[in-house]
Amino acid sequence: MKGTDAVTRSEIVRRAYQRFNDKDFEGVLELCDSDIEFRDLLADDGRAYGREAVNRRLMDRFSSATVQVTVADVVEMGYKVIAVVRCQVYDSAGNPVGPTIVATDHFSFRGERISRVETTRFNDLPDEIRTVLLPGTPLSTGT
């Protein structure tokens, strides 16, 4: 990230959230390494590997609901970026479901691309949120 026009990793993370909020999952994945590793907030052991698997996970997860992410803070720490976020889940009619969730997202980078995303939540997810975001069978944990 040399030169005056270089984009910081914090800016890349903020762009990813904006695209996520716009449901532009392909745009999010353009910011990621081809072998991105994504740990699903809703599944303690659920990981998706690679852009295609992560895209499927996002499309499946958010086909019937929306999550609006508000970034509270972003901090660069070496090759990692840590973001503190508030997430509100909305059902397909646009009604809020459950309380706001506070979490930290840990982004690892390979060069200027996101190579790993891992979320830590501070509270258990209420059942009403799980019901909206997990309407079908549990998703595969990898490819």
Terminus-to-terminus CA distance in the chain, angstroms? 32
| pLDDT for 138 | 40
Domain architecture of the chain: domains with CATH: 9-133 (3.10.450.50)
Sign of the alpha-carbon dihedral angle for 86, 141, 62, 19 = positive
What would the pLDDT profile of 50-79 be if each residue is shown by its tens digit? 999 999 888 888 887 889 999 999 999 988
Whether 65 and 71 have beta carbons less than 8 Å apart is answered as no
Ranges of the chain with pLDDT below 70: 1-5, 41-45, 122-123, 125, 134-143
Q: What is the side-by-side strand order in the sheet with 96-110?
A: 47-49, 32-39, 113-121, 96-110, 80-90, 66-77
pTM for the full model?
Answer: 0.83
